[in-house]
Amino acid sequence: MNGYTAPIQDMRFLLEAVVGLDEVRALPGYGEATPDLLEAVLEEAGKLASQVLAPLNQPGDRQGSRIENGVVRTPEGWAAAYAKFVQGGWPSVPFDAEHGGQGLPWAIHTPLSEMWSSANLAFSLCPMLSVGAAEVLAVHGTEAQKSLYLAPLVEGRWTGTMNLTEPQAGSDLGQIRTRAVREGGCYRITGQKIFITYGDHDIAENIVHLVLARLPDAPAGVRGISLFIVPKRTVGTDGTLGAHNDLRCVSLERKMGIHASPTCVMAYGDQGGAVGYLVGEENRGLEYMFTMMNNERLGVGIQGIAVAERAYQLARAYARQRVQGRDDAAAGREPVPIIRHPDVRRMLMTMRALTEAARALAYQTAILLDRARRHPDEAERRHSQSLVDFLTPVVKSWSTDVACEVASLGVQIHGGMGFVEDLGAAQLFRDARITPIYEGTNGIQARDLVGRKLLREGGETARRLEAEIGALDAKLAQTGGEDMAAIRHGLANGARALAEATGWLLDAAKTDPLAPAAGATHYQTLVGIVAGGWMMARAALAAAEGEKSASDGNFLAAKRATARFYADKILPQSSALLAVIQTGAASTMALAEEQF
């Protein structure tokens, strides 16, 4: 697999010229996020990603994690790479200084997460989960819990996990059976959890498991779930590590991809019960865990963008050097690099445009998240948070669908060499496929988007997003040129399709509850495509402005050309998605169960 080069120029362009990092710098506590600091952070992160993490990606996939004498061993080089990751202070970037963090915006943490995931998706899962665990404790933990657990998590000395799924309880967490019994100032946890990423490993001195469990007297369903801290090694009141807790990794899953990431079956309480500590109040665990799940859903969306970027880089390099066939536009009959062929260009441009659009939308969501947390005006915080809530399932689902499409196109560009493992395109395709599944399948994200975010609030946030997209039309109209006219036309058509789909779903739900559910995934894709077009149009405007004075005209011209391709070839899909949504649920539900 060819090396990875972080797209730092693209990341800086988005942050500085498109999504408005300067507005975040003006928020309380973020004044140190200067342009110079951003440049330094991105450059150093890019070096770690390309020089340390990326070289381990393919060997780690081949070797995988394994269990030896009851201990999970990560692939060769993993522990040393994690030590460098911690020494660089990377786990602490988005956390407050009071917990040992660097206090930088999530908008800066987001491209760093993309780099780790592009370089080595299997490695990146561990720090991503640790960030989510620390976030839960920072928001919901007691002062004593924060004192004991936050600093080691923020520093990276300890790692974190989320323990939700059980053999009989996948997405329906109301069916979990793991038990928690009160015992003095703690609880005894017994049960089994599956699909626990980095549930055990050998790269850090302790693991902080966040475990959902049910008390004996808890109400049935999701209202009876509580959340517990269950450390791999017990922790004294002074923070010192004690004995191994009553928990173990029973086995590792044999997976389609991300082989180096240990996906564990965890057993709690073989010797009478693992010691656990309640987070917040009893029976409110799922509510608290959503803090972590929403964090992880954005993180998984970034993973999708990251895999797409790596697949694009790999396919681009191959297309430049693979000589096959003649140039249809030239008189000569000499074979040429396949990047000259229109169909290969079609695939490369699709890969590029989708990746850039998804990245821009994710970075915009990170900006909104910073505003929701730090803006001094309460109304602005609420406004930003509502958009974050609406866009989170879109970033998670659309970006990961993009990952699968882009990685598949990468295999196609490689031809037969893409189907074998040697060049790495196959690994990226395999790795990408988990991203639409974990942290809530994309179908569940669609159900959340339409059921909770659209119908429950009567389309208020959807209309607000549509208004922001529509407000760009005047700026596009003022910018001359054929490209900008085409971009304006494509975005306007997409915006009309989105507005019509929103209205149709709101009306249909009044008489047919199945219609919104049947159209939810198509609506989610529609939002992603149109919102992606909105971001690409903003990038084109920023590029047009920059071309007046910037020295790097090729980079900015490529931005404009990619946005034009998106408007010409991708935004028209919005009309078809609208038509599908408006067919309702009848044909989807036409067959009886026994007819399948």
Q: Which amino acids are annotated catalytic?
A: 439
One-letter amino acid at 552 equals D
Backbone angles phi, psi at 109, to 5 degrees: -60, -30
Q: Are 30 and 105 in contact (CB under 8 A)?
A: yes
Instruction: Give the CB-side neighbour count of residue 43, counting CA atoms within 13 A.
Output: 6
Rounded CA-CA distance 374/366 in Å is 12
Buried b (16+ CB within 10 A) or exposed e, 84-93: ebbebebbbb
For residue 166, give the DSSP letter: B
Rounded CA-CA distance 310/123 in Å is 15
Query: Which residues, in sequence order, are CB contacts of 398 under 8 Å at separation 6+?
Result: 301, 358, 361, 524, 525, 527, 528, 529, 532
Consecutive H or E run containing 450: none
Query: Which residues, in sequence order, are CB contacts of 60 under 8 Å at separation 6+?
Result: 74, 75, 77, 78, 120, 122, 123, 259, 260
Rounded CA-CA distance 111/502 in Å is 31
Beta pairing partners, 182: 187
Closest CA relative to residue 234, chosen from 149, 157, 129, 156: 149
Helices 482-508 + 573-581 axis angle, to 10: 10
Q: Are 207 and 197 in contact (CB under 8 A)?
A: no
CA distances in angstroms from 35 to 17, 25, 31, 92, listed in the order given: 12, 10, 11, 20
Q: Are strands 179-183 and 71-73 parallel, antiparallel or unpaired?
A: unpaired
Closest CA relative to residue 305, chosen from 403, 216, 220: 403
Q: Are 308 and 10 in contact (CB under 8 A)?
A: no
Q: Are 207 and 199 in contact (CB under 8 A)?
A: yes
CA distances in angstroms from 280 to 177, 205, 286, 292, 574, listed in the order given: 20, 26, 11, 14, 44
Rounded CA-CA distance 166/179 in Å is 12
Backbone angles phi, psi at 451, to 5 degrees: -70, -45
Q: What tokens does 355 get?
A: 């990746």
